[in-house]
Chain A
């Protein structure tokens, strides 16, 4: 049995280091690393599912690909390098690999210090991969923080005019949240008397805590993960960071970093502190509904395309939170599907926004219209992204949102009309926006504007293909996700 996870970590580490040092050849090194990463993740998938007969057959219970080595020994505490994957993390790892290669290809022509740029992109993905595989509190926290620093530099060095402010705000918000999260996790460990930081040990001993203790600890963890989500009212770093970040940064920020919050909440808060989760669920519902409504209403008022997508991310992640809070296996499925779908779709949309920006010199929705004749390929991909985002059947957004709404109906009954109503309004707005921007008379289109360059087209094209693929065959993911029930989640 190959230690696949360590192999991936080694691939990414060596590839990242080589990228930093490769100078002009860095994009090739980055591409090779990303391809190897994707291949290894595919191997992991096959290994996990026992392809080809995996559909419907029982999958590995618990964690697969586990490895555990002693790391730091304290007299009262074991810290191990323990890694492993289950269906939930595997789907998000797949997302990581897809977004990494798409970002590298999309940014192919990056001319400002390309070695550092590609190195930081790879480092972000390395950290995210680590977060998804880590099964030890300290290891998890280490990767969690390791994502922060490359993103800080990506925003601060390659960003827009207000990049310094945005980078610092991003860093401070998420770092403070990380600290609270770490305190929460360590407090869980110490109060429950766990002698190891391994997920299994923490999980087992934390359940013995009283409901009240769990409720408080859960709040700390929820805050820590929630800021990354981001939940209203701790979301204000997100629009700033997104607007100022370079396109590659925005893609990873929306596609991956927000998922870290969702994954962390499921794995380290909901699963470890089930009673605390049950106590605090009502708070989660409130915040989820506020995020859904607020994110979407505010996004309607935006003129900057990137800001609009950023706020719609808050709305989508609100649905993820809602699905988690439902405390049902269907809700869990919906949350993970939703994260995967949003990862692909928001990446696609941010790439489109980036291309619009440097093709037409503006992202201002009011000043732009009728770009289809000039840039038909770009228009097609924007259309695909927008339609997937509003949940058109046969695209990836549909199975995710449908599952989420279904789970909400089972769990909350008529409350489902809140997200549903918002969805309808958003959909109408998106269509109106598409109509203005893509069709109709040309406005604000420079004479020299051309269609999307091949590398950007290739990056976005990959995502479009996957949007369709997983939209038609969501079962590829569903079976993997449902193989990993979170403790205590009842059926639909």
Chain B
């Protein structure tokens, strides 16, 4: 294969997603705006890309579709070269996660009101945002990484406000845009300082140069800004305040994508910048009080991340306790879950990396799924308050059961994927010894705390009668959809998420094993 073709093959999933986005916009231009058509193109694009990624990951039955040779993955670039991208199996795992989030949201959105204008915009932007996420997962250069994040960000700003109905989505979009722009500025400024310090923005080169010149003040400042910028994207406390308003104001399907999908871009960026190639240059350097700790500038960054992690978990959970609106509650719970993921980054060992990744997967299924359910029952006339969900569990047993399952998984109840992910994550923190044990304890206490508000929703859904005042149980829905009013697409997406939550909760090994293998090879890059 010639060079161009090789590049094209490497980027096959990205190209498929890009093509589906362009096709959607093209269909819009030529006047085909039927929801089934444009939605079908978008969903098919992410499904096909998902299959391609799985093939590249080495899934045996898909070997024929493989576009990157097995030997071309997880290979660190030659010393002295500074490629913009490189493909790691860990990046592919994240691509698969991103695509599954995009697929689930797209599938559910096939059930939206077909008379509603803007379907082409929605699916086109969804594909574009996914494209940015896929690129993040192959980045090996700070600028490439930040630009890819920008592709996602700009698409999602538009997604939040695209309906142009009502003031709240617009307010949310504006807020999202302003905050996003500020955080991007911070991150780019950080990258420029790092460039000033090391003369390169390539992560592998930075690792090599830092190995010889150490960490000048300029670089530390740069990392500080970079952390702040990425912390906004990942909704870490105290950079979280925007997330609740945005998730609340956005169309709920978009919230599902933001919480379940695009937020994880920041998580992966953290992995890449702190656990991938860069900061592993002096593991166990003399004078490092943490011995084999992975960070060369370790203790400070590590403690900063640990503080972020504990703060994020705790603040997210405590504020979630106080919420009366379902979407805001889920948004705060989403913030606290970001804290768990950061915990894995803080610990920084390969097992912790795998644990955090599994947590990301769990979060895609349970939080993405939960938002999809919220969007679905909103179409049935259920209001925004938690109290509006009274009696839903008995009125709509299947939908209620799926939502209950997602909440139980978020709370970390056994037999759900949420339990396995927390178990792997927390036990990896304990395994790392040192003060990480206390991080695990903080995580456990937090998940005990989170049970309160999830149980409160369950109580409302199942134990409280639906109409205390004799008001109609469910106001007349705006339109009648099949599959219990949810529509086939949404019902299928919710069912997929619910089944996956249970299957992976009962027997996680088939997915957990590959994630662990990918995480260790990624971790080994920096060693």
User: Could you tell me if A142 and B444 are in contact, using CB atoms closer than 8 angstroms?
Assistant: no
Contact with B along A329-372 (1 / 0, CB 8 A): 00000000000000000000000000000000000000000000
Dominant secondary structure at the A interface: helix
Q: Complex Cα distance A141/B444, Å?
A: 14
Residues 32-87 of A contacting B (Cβ, < 8 Å): 70-77
**How distant is the Cα of A112 from the Cα of B464 in the complex, in angstroms?**
16
Q: Is B451 an interface residue (CB 8 A)?
A: yes
How far is the CB of B460 from the nearest CB of chain A, in Å?
10
Q: Does A168 contact B (CB under 8 A)?
A: yes
The answer to whether A72 and B464 touch across the interface, beta carbons within 8 angstroms, is no
Q: Which residues of A in the span 180-195 have a Cβ within 8 Å of any Cβ on B?
A: 182-183, 186-187, 190
Complex interface: stretch among A93-101, A170-178, A260-268, A296-304: A170-178
A163 near B: Cβ within 8 Å?
Answer: yes
Contact A156 B459 (CB under 8 A): yes
B430 touches A186 (CB 8 A): yes
B420, B447, B455, B512: the one within 8 Å of A168 (CB): B455
Q: Is B513 an interface residue (CB 8 A)?
A: yes
Q: Is B507 interfacial (CB 8 A cutoff)?
A: yes
Check A179 for interface membership: any CB of B closer than 8 A.
yes
Once the chains are docked, how many angstroms separate the CA of A157 from the CA of B441? 34
A76 pairs with B351, CB closer than 8 A? yes
Question: B435 on the interface (CB 8 Å rule)?
Answer: no
Residue tally, chain A, CB below 8 Å to B: 32
Q: By the criterion CB–CB under 8 Å, are B413 and A164 in contact?
A: no
**Is A294 in the interface zone, CB < 8 Å from B?**
no
Q: Looking at the complex, which of B38-46, B172-180, B421-429 is the stretch in contact with chain A?
A: B421-429
Q: How far is the CB of A14 from chain B (nearest CB, A)?
A: 15
Q: How far is B398's CA from A180's CA once the two chains are assembled, in angstroms?
A: 33
Q: Is the CB of A186 within 8 A of B452?
A: no
Minimum Cβ distance to chain A for residue B432 (Å): 10
User: Nearest chain A CB to B405's CB is how many angstroms away?
Assistant: 11
Number of residues of chain B lying within 8 A (CB) of chain A? 36
Q: Which residue of A lies closest to B516 (CB)?
A: A75
Q: Which residues of B contact A466 (CB under 8 A)?
A: none
Q: Does A167 contact B (CB under 8 A)?
A: yes
- CB of A440 to closest CB in B, whole Å: 40
B508 pairs with A72, CB closer than 8 A: yes
- The verdict on A145 contacting chain B, using a C-beta distance below 8 Å, is yes
B280 sits at the interface (CB 8 A): no
A149 at the interface (CB under 8 A from B): yes
With beta carbons under 8 angstroms apart, the residue of A73, A138, A183, A190 that contacts B431 is: A190
Q: Do residues A146 and B415 form an inter-chain contact, with CB atoms below 8 A?
A: yes
- Within 8 Å CB of B463, what residues of A? 156-157, 163-164, 167
Q: Which residue of B lies closest to A75 (CB)?
A: B351
The CA-CA distance from A75 to B428 in the complex, in Å, is 10
B455 close to A171 (CB less than 8 A): yes
B 427-447 to A, binary, CB cutoff 8 A, 1 in contact else 0: 110110000010001001101
B150 CB to nearest chain A CB (Å): 36
B462 & A172 in contact (Cβ 8 Å cutoff):
no
Residues of B near A167 (CB, < 8 A) are 459, 463
Q: Is the CB of A74 within 8 A of B516?
A: yes
Q: Are A176 and B448 in contact (CB under 8 A)?
A: yes
A71 touches B509 (CB 8 A): yes
List residues of chain A with CB within 8 A of the CB of B269: none
A153: Cβ under 8 A from any B Cβ: yes
Q: Which residue of B lies closest to A81 (CB)?
A: B507
Interface residue B484 (Cβ < 8 Å from any Cβ of A): no
* A172 touching B415, Cβ below 8 Å: no
Cα(A286)–Cα(B80), bound, Å: 71
Contact yes or no, A186 B414, CB < 8 A: no
B445 to chain A: which residues have CB within 8 Å? Answer: 179
Complex: A71 Cα to B463 Cα, angstroms: 36
The answer to the question of B275 belonging to the interface, with a C-beta cut-off of 8 Å to chain A, is no
Would you call A74 and B351 a contact (CB within 8 A)?
Answer: yes
Query: B350 an interface residue at 8 Å Cβ cutoff?
Result: yes
Q: Tell yes or no: B191 within 8 A of A by CB.
A: no
Min CB–CB distance A202 → chain B (angstroms)? 14
Q: Is B408 an interface residue (CB 8 A)?
A: yes
Partner of A186, one of B427, B462, B513: B427
Which residues does chain B contribute within 8 Å of A186, judged by CB atoms? 426-427, 430
Residue in B closest to A142 when the chains form the complex, CB atoms: B414
| Interface CB pairs A-B, < 8 A, 22 | A72-B509, A72-B512, A74-B351, A74-B427, A74-B516, A77-B427, A138-B423, A142-B414, A149-B408, A149-B413, A152-B455, A153-B462, A157-B463, A163-B463, A167-B463, A168-B455, A168-B459, A171-B455, A176-B448, A179-B444, A179-B447, A190-B437
- Which residues of B does A touch, CB under 8 Å? 350-351, 408, 413-415, 419-420, 423-424, 426-428, 430-431, 437, 441, 444-445, 447-448, 451-452, 455-456, 459, 462-464, 507-509, 512-513, 516, 520
* Chain A interface residues (CB < 8 Å from chain B): 70-77, 138, 141-142, 145-146, 149, 152-153, 156-157, 163-164, 167-168, 171-172, 175-176, 179, 182-183, 186-187, 190
Contacts A73-B516, A172-B452 supplied; 15 other A-B pairs, CB < 8 Å: A71-B507, A71-B509, A72-B420, A72-B512, A75-B351, A76-B351, A76-B431, A77-B427, A138-B423, A149-B413, A164-B463, A168-B459, A175-B448, A175-B451, A183-B444
User: Which 5 residue pairs across A and B have the least CB separation, nearest first?
Assistant: A142-B414, A179-B448, A156-B463, A145-B414, A190-B430
